[in-house]
Amino acid sequence: MVTDRNFQFRILVFAPFGKDAVLIREVLESSGVAAQVVKEPAELGRCIQEGADAAIITEESLDDETTSYLGQCIAAQPPWSDFPVIILTGGGASTPSTEMAVRARAALGNLSLLERPVRPATLLSVVRTASRARARQYEICEQLAELKQTHLALQEANNRLETLVEERTSALRKLSAHLLRAQDDERRRMARELHDGLGQSLAAAQINLGLIDIPAGAVGERFLAEARQLVGRAVSDIRTLSYLLHPPLLEEAGFFSAVQWYIDGFSKRSGINVTLELPSKLGRMPDVVELTLFRVVQEGLINVHRHSGSQHVDIRIERDETRIIVRLKDYGKGLPLNLLERFRKTGCGAGVGLSGMRERVKELGGEFVVESDETGTLLTVIAPQTITPAGNNSRPRSNEPIQVLERAV
């Protein structure tokens, strides 16, 4: 179908018998309407596809075969097209051809019947109405084409933006993973400095205080006892802080021993009852997996203590040949729905702790799921046991049985 507005549209005249075609063309052209006489149905069908305003057809030329063919030509036009067909009927009597044309209205589409003899003014009026309607259809076609181009341009722009967002998201995720690794390294360094530096100095001071001998009943004996007690408490606090920053048990004995140690201390410090269910198969995993799972449990329990109001937490750990699953369930007030939905969509909005846990797990190629309602919150982490993430040189651990070390705190 021709849609160029510079194309010279015209009225097709299919009247193969008598002088109707000549008379109709003279009437139309005398009023400035372009007309083209066609002699065969095939020519009429081709001209319809090439572009025309309307077709004037005499009823005697519409046998069953011609009507079916023209109906197929019109049906093959684009969805926006509603090609006008004007049929000139006989002199007032209803003929089989007229009845067939009426019955074929759906096949021929936009059908109008004019009874002969037709006055020139009436014919021109009907033709111009059909021509204006057809011109409007072409305008709609052009608008649809413009809308399609606009849609394609918007889609292309959207694709570019999505690509850019994916690139930026990937860069931010790498930066986040780098920052988390740097944070763990800094925690390890601080723990070592506290334990080996300040902790050792205080321990030496505590020993020196113990060597001081003050006679019984002296005034300074009470102050010396208090000093010994304060230094002893400082040594204990620094040791606890050092172990919380980066527990040596995690490197020495593995995740399962470290998490038991941490839960015991957390319950004593917070008063929150924590039940821990471990898998039957205990063994080492890659360093990065053990550290990630430990931080998830640590941050999850801290969130429970700070925000949920729950007095009980259930932690269940399962593992198979390839995955380890950690579920942490509290029975507090739960997360607000708007924050939960935002976190699920964007990974942020529910606090730094959850976002950090999510990024740690995603860096491993695992899944981090948060479910929450008025009955509490469930954190589920599914992580691979055997895949070491790119850019991390953690070594895989053997599956030797864990030897629980003596706790220092």
In the prediction, which pLDDT does 380 show? 93
The CATH class for the domain spanning 11-118 reads alpha beta
In the prediction, which pLDDT does 265 show? 87
CA distance 304 to 9: 77
Angle at 73 between CA 14 and CA 22, to 5 degrees: 10
The residue ranges of every structural domain in the chain are: 11-118, 254-409
Residue entry with tokens 């018998």: 17
- Give which of 126, 121, 142 is closest to 53, Cα–Cα: 126
b/e for 338-359, b at 16 or more Cβ within 10 A? ebbeebeeebebbbebbbbbbb
| Model confidence at 62: pLDDT above 70 | yes
SS (H, E, C) 8-54: CCCEEEECCCCCHHHHHHHHHHHCCCCEEEECCHHHHHHHHHHCCCE
Neighbour tally for 310: CB within 10 Å: 18
Coarse DSSP helix, strand, coil percentages of the chain, rounded to the nearest 5 percent? 55, 15, 30
Alpha-carbon distance values, 190 to 206, 307, 353 (Å):
22, 27, 20
**CB-count exposure of residue 205 (10 Å: 0-12, 13-18, 19+):** middle
For the chain, percent of residues with pLDDT exceeding 90: 14
In the prediction, which pLDDT does 261 show? 87
Sheet holding 35-38, edge to edge: 35-38, 11-14, 54-58, 84-89, 110-115
Q: Which of 5-19, 31-45, 299-313 has the lowest mean pLDDT?
A: 5-19
CA distance 379 to 327: 6
Residue entry with tokens 């957390």: 266
Q: Is 62 left (phi over 0), alpha (psi -120 to 50) or beta?
A: beta
Higher-scoring residue by pLDDT: 389, 370: 370
CATH 3.30.565.10 for domain 254-409, yes or no, is yes
* Across 135-144, average pLDDT: 87
In the prediction, which pLDDT does 150 show? 92
CA distance 235 to 243: 12
Which band of pLDDT confidence, cut at 50, 70 and 90, is reported for residue 360?
confident
The pTM score is 0.47
Contact call for residues 368 and 362 (beta carbons, < 8 A): yes
pLDDT digit string, tens, across residues 164-203: 887 776 666 666 666 666 666 666 666 665 656 666 666 6
**CB-count exposure of residue 283 (10 Å: 0-12, 13-18, 19+):** middle
CA distance 277 to 326: 10
